[in-house]
Amino acid sequence: MTENLFGAVRRWIEMDPDAKTRSALAQLLTRAEDSDASAAEELQRLFSGRLAFGTAGLRAELGPGPLRMNRLVVRQTAAGMLSYAEEQLARAQQGADNPQDLMRSGARKIVIGFDARHQSDEFAADTAEIFSAAGWEVHLFTRPGPTPLLARQVLVLDAEIGVMVTASHNPPQDNGYKVYLGGELSRFLEPHGRGVGAQIVAPVDQDIAARIAELVDADTPADASASSPEAGSDVAAGAARTHPVTDEARSSYEREALELLDPQTYPQRDLHVVYTAMHGVGGEMVTSLLRAGGFTVTPVAEQFEPDPDFPTADFPNPEEPGALDLALKTAESENADLVLANDPDADRLSAAVYDDAAGAWRQLSGDEIGALLGRHLLERGPLRPQADGGAPVLANSIVSSRLLERLCQVRGVGHAATLTGFKWLARVAHMSFGYEEAIGFNVDPEHVKDKDGVSAALIFAEMTASLKSRGISLIAALDEIAAEAGVFVTGQVTIRVSDLSELGKVTAALRAQPPAEIAGSAVVESLDLTQDPLPGTELSEATKTDALIYLTEAGDRVIVRPSGTEPKVKCYLEAVADTPGVDADPEAIGAARAQAAERLEQLRTSMESMLS
């Protein structure tokens, strides 16, 4: 076992293009060969498997070896992705009516973006080199930028593949790799066309992972210059096919985003926004857009410039307790109307407002922001008309609140609920607005097939300024929505496990012994998403997921789902109260909220006991 491990480490060192990770492994290996037990244990941890490639791409701590994010893992991933794409495009060409049209210059094209995390630019450059050497037309961003900017560029270029190097809101020591499909490759794999420009879903992720494994098992060097029959080995010629994605892409995005505003119907601009980029890449674009839109913006200076060490936020997620402290302090001193925050890659949006009743600032939940934006878009109409003339649909993930669905029902507008993640929301036909409770929103699905915290910030400011002009706070607006559609209160219970391999045991135990009641209310309906489709959808291998849904007689909903990226099981809770009615006063709405909140705590206690 030890010699096999040491041999694998030596081979990895030979292939690793990064001097720093080579050196770190070489030092560990020397110590382990000298009978240092701690070094041997560390090597065993680093080489006990391989970083899994899935629908979330890759995401892990930076470091050496196959279980960490590093240049060799990225190059192997890119090589496997390239091999898979070449095979699928060849299949598409064989079945095409006019193969020459399919293989036009637009067909073998990739666009690559990156954020400001440690080594993001290196991972992007490695990916570009692999594809360029194989004869692909590579479009590489010239500087760090937001994830939605990359997602948009996949559609602008009609590229087969988009790669974004980012770990979103993970801790500073992490990095990741997100993959989008577009162009002819996406149209071949999903003939209905709804996945063009969106992140990959099953079984594409599994097929790419299998191809990566095949190349690694065959000990194939992570050099793709020979993987394409047309590529040859002239890397210099490949480099000539690399095109810089310049700031014109940013300017074009901003022009389209500003077109989303409706200055005729919503001309109000009396709004002072405090904005934090959370040390990420959204600051430049968001402040530029808000100012161009006519709003007053004060950035949180300490968190504005991109910084991969995130010095004021150990866990740079706006949802984390304390993450908005600097922004709230700035808002207090500036007497601002609204706090807006992005996560480091600017695909998510958080907001906080001053609550007069509580006498303090309050951060809104993702479900509250989703309901507010949803109602605003219902009242002003879709930001862009449907290209095919279809009736617009609002959508949210299944773990989000049912409030938007109820509001759509009340107003006679189409609604869809999808599996968790924007990779599914992006595939909803005729979607004009979509959101997920983890502060992900998309107000412009025509141009970005992913969550977008940049354009969402602009529309949220438009809505807030309009409400302010009528003397309505965001808290009061939430009460108006509750009066019309009902009171829905949400919360979570999180069960942490020792590692990812333990995740399935929690849901397996519930399948073996399903609950007959939760918090004293009988379970009247249950869904197992490994066997049952979501309402209005069809079950397929791609949509099967390890999640359980329970509805109770009291109207509660409980969803249990293992996390896709972290060693924890999430339990999503929702309690409801009767609709107070559109003429209800704030006191009646407050009483209904208190009733639902009390029920939510009962659900929390019940599920903590059940899952412990």
Q: Which of 83, 120, 132, 168 is catalytic?
A: 168
E strands along 501-567, which residues? 517-518, 521-528, 548-552, 557-562
Of 529, 599, 521, 519, whose CA–CA distance to 561 is shortest?
A: 529
**CA-CA distance, 524 to 2, in Å (whole number)?**
55
Helices (H) and strands (E) in the chain, counts: 20, 22
- Per DSSP, the three-state class of 329 is helix
**Helix axes of 147-157 and 248-258: crossing angle, nearest 10 degrees:** 100
> How buried is residue 557: exposed, middle or buried, by Cβ count under 10 Å (0-12/13-18/19+)?
buried
* 168 noted as active-site residue: yes
Query: In which residue are the tokens 């291998």 written?
Result: 541
**CA-CA distance, 486 to 577, in Å (whole number)?**
7
The letter for the amino acid at 467 is L
* Encoded tokens for 531: 């066997």
E strands along 508-579, which residues? 517-518, 521-528, 548-552, 557-562, 568-577
**CA-CA distance, 147 to 149, in Å (whole number)?**
5
**CA-CA distance, 551 to 94, in Å (whole number)?**
49
Strand-pairing partners, residue 109, are 137
Alpha helices per DSSP H over 283-365: 283-292, 325-334
The C-alpha angle with vertex 133 and arms to 132 and 137, in degrees rounded to 5, equals: 25
**What end-to-end distance do the CA atoms of the chain give, in Å?**
37
Report how far apart, in Å, the C-alpha atoms of 586 and of each of 371, 477, 594 are. Answer: 18, 11, 12
Q: Which residues are catalytic?
A: 168
